[in-house]
């Protein structure tokens, strides 16, 4: 899903958006979809159906990036489960990988259906995105840890194909070998826009995303969700924290003639 008609020329800065939690507040949608997949395959640990409650999913959201890594982390920390796929448990590495793949695929089926029914953009996000797209001196991109199928459903439904066609970078978790908090996706984005890290501003909503941006030596602003709001973002290197992006204007973030982004507004 690469940009086909970006209008960017001689970019001064780049503005890179995370997807889940930034464009759409999707944490609860993902949680429900994972639990749907666990129920679909009767995934149980010691006879108890795996169910990620809100409080626990908040921990996962701020600890592990990407869906498959979340499940691997959970099962490694607790116990590899039984399921209709592996009634006696997945005991080999290949079986465990196959189980995770099947769960992720089924989760995506549920997630896409939920997105169609309830997903909508967070306040201010599309207005800021449109301002950046309209400015030929600002490169614009989306860099998500989500798997491509779920990611495409969100961005196609909420961002829209016209905006996507004008972006300089659009990447999902499948496009990189290491997911956030690893900085790889942002390092690749920097290469694509042809700018130094100091000229890039990342918009994230979680510590996992913030650590990826900071690891790439990029400036990062945070627009937290309810599940991430208690984190110490400024203590971990965020440049600013905004309840939402409705009051953030492109001209304030990237002043005309400025050599670096501005975060004091």
Show the tokens assigned to 225.
Answer: 């969700």
**Residue 265 — very low, low, confident or very high, per pLDDT cuts 50/70/90?**
confident
**Are 70 and 206 within 8 A, CB to CB?**
no
Quote the CA–CA distance of 190 and 205 in Å, as a whole number: 20
For 30, the enclosing helix (H) or strand (E) is helix 27-40
> Which amino acids are annotated catalytic?
18, 20
More confident residue, 206 or 26: 206
Quote the CA–CA distance of 134 and 115 in Å, as a whole number: 27
Query: Is CATH 3.40.50.1000 what the domain over 13-26+120-253 is classified as, yes or no?
Result: yes
Tell me the pLDDT tens digit for each residue of 134-158.
999 999 999 998 888 878 888 998 9
For 140, the enclosing helix (H) or strand (E) is strand 138-143
Quote the CA–CA distance of 150 and 138 in Å, as a whole number: 27
Cβ neighbors of 252 (< 8 A, separation 6 or more) are: 262, 265
State the chain's mean pLDDT as an integer.
93
Q: What's residue 3's pLDDT?
A: 43
Among left, alpha and beta (phi > 0; psi -120 to 50; other), residue 44 is beta
Backbone angles phi, psi at 48, to 5 degrees: -105, 125
Show the tokens assigned to 42.
Answer: 């009767």
The total of other beta-carbon atoms located within 10 Å of residue 116's CB is: 10
The top-level CATH class assigned to 28-118 is mainly alpha
Show the tokens assigned to 63.
Answer: 């600890």
What is the sign of the dihedral through the CA atoms of 68, 171, 20 and 109?
negative
Tell me the pLDDT tens digit for each residue of 79-125.
999 999 999 999 999 999 999 999 999 999 999 899 888 889 999 99
Percent of the chain with pLDDT over 70: 98
Show the tokens assigned to 179.
Answer: 């997911």
Comparing CA positions, the residue from 255, 11, 2 lying closest to residue 136 is 11
Q: ∠225-203-106 over CA atoms, to 5°? A: 60
**Residue 5 — very low, low, confident or very high, per pLDDT cuts 50/70/90?**
low
SS3 state of residue 212: helix
What is the sign of the dihedral through the CA atoms of 61, 225, 233 and 132?
positive
Tell me the pLDDT tens digit for each residue of 204-214.
999 999 999 99
Domain boundaries in the chain?
A: 13-26+120-253, 28-118
Backbone angles phi, psi at 206, to 5 degrees: -135, 165
Quote the CA–CA distance of 244 and 248 in Å, as a whole number: 8
């Amino acid at each position: 899903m690469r940009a086909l008609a970006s209008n960017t020329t001689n970019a001064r800065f780049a503005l890179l958006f995370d997807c889940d939690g930034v464009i759409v507040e999707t944490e609860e949608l993902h949680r429900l979809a994972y639990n749907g997949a666990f129920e679909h395959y009767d995934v149980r640990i010691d006879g108890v159906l795996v169910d990620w409650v809100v409080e626990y999913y908040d921990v996962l959201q701020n600890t592990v990036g990407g869906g498959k890594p979340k499940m691997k982390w959970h099962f490694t920390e607790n116990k590899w489960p039984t399921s209709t796929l592996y009634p006696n448990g997945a005991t080999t590495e290949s079986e465990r990988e196959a189980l995770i793949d099947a769960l992720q695929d089924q989760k995506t089926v549920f997630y896409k259906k939920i997105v169609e029914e309830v997903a909508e953009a967070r306040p201010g996000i599309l207005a800021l995105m449109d301002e950046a797209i309209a400015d030929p001196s600002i490169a614009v991109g989306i860099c998500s840890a989500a798997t491509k199928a779920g990611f495409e459903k969100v961005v196609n439904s909420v961002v829209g194909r016209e905006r996507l066609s004008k972006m300089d970078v659009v990447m999902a978790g499948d496009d990189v070998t290491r997911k956030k908090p690893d900085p790889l996706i942002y390092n690749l984005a920097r290469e694509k826009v042809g700018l130094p890290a100091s000229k890039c501003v990342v918009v994230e909503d979680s510590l996992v995303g913030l650590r990826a941006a900071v690891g790439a030596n990029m400036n990062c602003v945070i627009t937290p969700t309810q599940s991430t709001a208690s984190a110490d973002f400024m203590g971990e290197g965020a440049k600013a924290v905004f309840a939402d992006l409705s009051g953030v204007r492109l001209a304030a973030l990237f002043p005309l003639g400025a050599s670096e982004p501005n975060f004091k507004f």
